[in-house]
Structure 1
Amino acid sequence: MSGERAAPWGFRPAERLIALANAVRARPDLPRDELAGLLARHGESPDDLTGQAFSEDDAAGLRAAADRIARLVAEGGGADGADTDRAAHALNALLAECGARPRLSRHGGHPWHLHVDRGDDASWADWFLASSALTLAWILTEYGRVPWGECAAPGCSALYLGTGPGSARRYCSSACASRERVAAHRRRRRAGA
């Protein structure tokens, strides 16, 4: 996610949502411990990710929420003329469903930060849906278009956020983009021979 602006304390919710969505897409049954590890790598307090604070039921709800966000990002489109209005309406509906009302929260040793879930006792699923919808809404308004989608490389279904400089993205990585350029070049050479 090159180019994403980091919050002053290093919290990067867009990277978190893509990492979690890609992890759950790759392994729909991703174990609770691996989900907790992923969340910890993205700034969540390890104390909030143990025992009762992050149960198997919480993990199941979070997997379902991550799958829902993954579908929203995959349907978003990327560089091929994504329907910005459709994405905006989908995000508005998700924010309304989550009861999203902005509020400042400070918990688990974190500095004050913005939350849009129902309260500090919201489920992990509600928190993830609301914070992801807010993040995507912010990105859509910042760029004036949908800069996210599913990689266009054959055989790759990774999600990406194209929030860096340059033209709109279609690939999750430079490796997928290069592989596709080489394959297209080879196809043109064969067609010309």
Structure 2
Amino acid sequence: MNDVGPAFRPAERLLDLANAVRTTPDLPREALAELLADHGESPRDLTEEAFSERDADELRTAVTRLTEVLDTADPDRAAEALNALLAAHAAPPRLSRHDGHPWHLHVDRGDDAGWADWFVASGALALAQILTQYGRVTWGTCAADRCSTLYLGTGPGSAQRYCSPACARRARVAAHRRRHRA
């Protein structure tokens, strides 16, 4: 359970797990471990002994709780939900350096914190940082028909509404066709 390396992106990790669990609510432990490994978690922390079936069940529940925040478009409601999650799962921030990684911030309750608490604390902190940086909710569910993929819009420009250029293009073409039929 290491927040690691210069490329560590807890909000992207949250979205990847949230989209995976949203698509497959009973996502197997091995698939969760693979996603965590893709985001820099150590293989030794992802063995069946270190990341058990029970840990996977609790992590899926934690992901679902954070997904509720990702489905919140109102910044005040998002802030209230994030504050509640941080109060329940986070501890005072601390700097940590381990496993050869550079200094990084942890807000979990310590090295013995469970996977679910660690994930909620780090995910809520990431979303809180984004909310304060942009002053608005920059995440959401894709607005394209038949797409429920969550996105994180932190790039320049206007607010994002789609998970990908392909969904945005499909929505524009469909709107164009509707206008011309009318």
Q: TM-score, normalised by structure 1?
A: 0.89
Provide the aligned C-alpha RMSD in A: 1.3
Larger relative contact order (C-alpha < 8 A, sep ≥ 6)?
1
Cα distance in 2 for partners of 1:52, 1:107 equals 20
Match of 1:156, SS? coil
Does 1:33 pair with 2:30?
A: yes
Does 1:68 pair with 2:59?
A: no
Cα distance in 1 for partners of 2:122, 2:99 equals 17
In the TM superposition, structure 1's runs of 4+ consecutive aligned residues that sit over 4 Å from their partners are: none
Conserved? CA contact 1:48–1:108, under 8 Å: no
2:97 is matched with which residue? Answer: 106
Does 1:58 pair with 2:55?
A: yes
Match of 2:41, SS? coil
* Unpaired stretches in structure 2, ≥5 consecutive residues: none
1:9 is matched with which residue? Answer: 6
Aligned length: 179
Match of 1:121 among 106, 109, 112: 112
Write the letter of the residue equivalent to 2:88: E
Write the letter of the residue equivalent to 2:70: V
Q: TM-score, normalised by structure 2?
A: 0.94
Note the C-alpha offset of 1:67. Answer: 1.1
1:20 is matched with which residue? Answer: 17
1:135 is matched with which residue? Answer: 126
Note the C-alpha offset of 1:110. Answer: 2.8
Cα distance in 1 for partners of 2:21, 2:162 equals 19
Match of 1:179, SS? helix
- Report which stretch shifted further, 134-143 or 83-92: 83-92
Match of 1:48 among 45, 48, 52: 45
Q: Deviations over 1:33-68 (max 9, x none)?
A: 110010000011111100211011001111111111
